[in-house]
């Protein structure tokens, strides 16, 4: 792995030998699950790593994990039997995570996840008065999926649900040197009833987020943050997001394009999406640059479009349908001259 001066990463090319290993409870499973599924999953991943990658199949069933699964197998597809048929579920009152993310990895390439559900089981987890961002808190890192420093990550037909923090949280690395992950592709997935955001796209260069559903998450349905750039968000549905309570929850948006940490979130296209019943607004823009919002439908929210911060530049809001309590808010430092409105209805 090499890291360039601007924080982007390149990986050495590896051949994919294409072996397949099976985890489950049937006689066909090479790696049998007996109680805690983490042991079998890690053993299967170890074999894949030794062979340069391949496919890790997980048979139908609900598998209980006592802790987070930290993948260390490059160039791997993790494939369940289908969303809702293969379920990876955190055990009741799980111990504190040492690292963020229930299912997680760092510095891997060419990873694909398909056909299963990740269940954080938040109703049966311990609570803490400490911040969930505090590594000493029992609630630290309770995100359904977390990965950082990656190149090429794909999700198909994966559901994240009932996590205390984020649902999907693909990430860059914020400590020096800054490392931007690259190439995220999330399609036909769901993120439901998570404590914070459904889908957070954080410090990533280039990607597509399409045909997904974010429902009943505590803050935003979809949140694009921390210098993410060259991203297309299209044909998604956000519903009933932003009504949570507690840290990082509440006052959320169906879609949020946010330059948190001032790393220049830019060049984001938001096309033909739907947001229904968002607490704050159908879509929010905070400090981002070159955001094109076209052909979307935003209903049942306080605002249709909510724009703040002086760093916000060149927002195009066109051909959208709004049916919200209020139309467009531009303020708190944002300039109306940087927001171009055309061909919209209901505002």
Count of residues for the chain?
347
pLDDT category of residue 17 using cuts at 50, 70 and 90: low
Is 41 among the domain residues? no
Q: Taking a C-beta distance cutoff of 8 angstroms, is the pair 153, 111 a contact? A: yes
> Computed over its alpha carbons, how large is the radius of gyration of the chain?
20
pTM of full prediction above 0.75: yes
In contact, 285 and 306? CB cutoff 8 Å:
yes
| b/e code 89-115 from CB counts within 10 Å (16+ = b) | bbbeebeebeebbbbbbbbbbbbbbbb
Residue 17 counted as domain residue = no
Q: Identify whether 71 is part of a domain.
A: yes
Query: Would residue 24 count as lying in a domain?
Result: no
- Say which DSSP state 27 is in: T
Q: For 343, left (φ over 0), alpha (ψ -120 to 50), or beta?
A: left
Q: Give a yes or no: residue 4 inside a domain.
A: no
Q: How many CB atoms lie within 10 A of CB 127?
A: 11
Question: Comparing C-alpha atoms, which of 271, 268, 270, 323 is closest to residue 290?
Answer: 268
Does residue 35 fall inside a structural domain? no
What are 321-343's pLDDT values in tens digits? Answer: 999 999 999 999 999 999 999 99
> Domain of 78: which CATH number?
2.160.20.10
pLDDT at 299 over 90: yes
Residue 130 lies in a domain: no
Per the structure, the count of domains in the chain is: 1
Q: How far apart are CA 179 and CA 189, in angstroms?
A: 26
pLDDT in tens, 112-147: 999 999 999 999 999 988 888 888 999 999 999 999
Asked if residue 45 is part of any domain, the answer here is no
> Can you give the pLDDT at residue 176?
81
Residue 248 pLDDT greater than 90, yes or no: no
Q: Predicted confidence band at 37 (pLDDT cuts at 50, 70, 90)? A: very high
**Can you give the residue range of the structural domain that contains 155?**
58-123+137-342
CB atoms < 10 A from the CB of 206, how many?
A: 17
Report, as an integer, the average pLDDT of 94-112. 97
Distance CA 102, CA 65 (A): 9
Tens-digit pLDDT profile for residues 178-205? 999 999 999 999 999 999 999 999 999 9
């Amino acid at each position: 792995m090499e890291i360039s001066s601007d924080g982007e990463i390149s990986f050495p090319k590896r051949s994919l030998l294409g072996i397949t290993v099976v985890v489950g409870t049937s006689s066909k499973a090479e790696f049998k699950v007996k109680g805690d599924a983490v042991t079998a999953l890690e053993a299967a991943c170890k074999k894949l790593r030794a062979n340069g990658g391949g496919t890790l199949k997980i048979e139908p069933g609900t598998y209980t994990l006592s802790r987070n699964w930290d993948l260390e197998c490059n160039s791997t597809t993790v494939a369940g039997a289908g969303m809702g048929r293969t379920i990876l579920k955190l055990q009741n009152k799980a111990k504190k995570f040492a690292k963020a993310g229930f299912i997680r990895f760092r510095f891997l390439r060419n990873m694909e996840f398909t056909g299963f559900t990740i269940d954080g089981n938040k109703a049966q987890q311990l609570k803490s008065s400490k911040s969930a961002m505090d590594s000493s808190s029992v609630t630290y890192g309770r995100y359904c999926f977390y990965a950082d420093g990656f190149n090429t990550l794909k999700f198909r037909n994966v559901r994240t649900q009932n996590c205390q923090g984020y649902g999907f949280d693909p990430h860059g690395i914020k400590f020096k040197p800054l490392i931007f992950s690259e190439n995220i592709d999330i399609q036909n997935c769901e993120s439901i009833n998570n404590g914070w955001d459904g889908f957070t796209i954080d410090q990533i260069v280039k990607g597509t987020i399409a045909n997904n559903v974010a429902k009943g998450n505590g803050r935003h349905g979809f949140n694009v943050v921390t210098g993410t750039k060259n991203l297309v968000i299209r044909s998604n549905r956000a519903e009933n997001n932003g009504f949570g309570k507690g840290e990082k929850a509440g006052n959320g948006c169906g879609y949020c394009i946010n330059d948190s940490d001032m790393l220049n979130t830019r060049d984001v296209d938001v096309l033909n999406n739907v947001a229904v019943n968002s607490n704050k607004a159908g879509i929010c823009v905070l400090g981002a640059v070159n955001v094109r919002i076209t052909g979307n439908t935003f209903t049942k929210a306080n605002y249709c479009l909510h724009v703040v911060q002086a760093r916000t530049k060149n927002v195009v809001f066109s051909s959208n349908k709004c049916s919200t309590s209020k139309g467009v808010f531009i303020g708190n430092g944002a300039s109306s001259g940087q927001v171009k409105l055309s061909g919209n209805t209901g505002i």
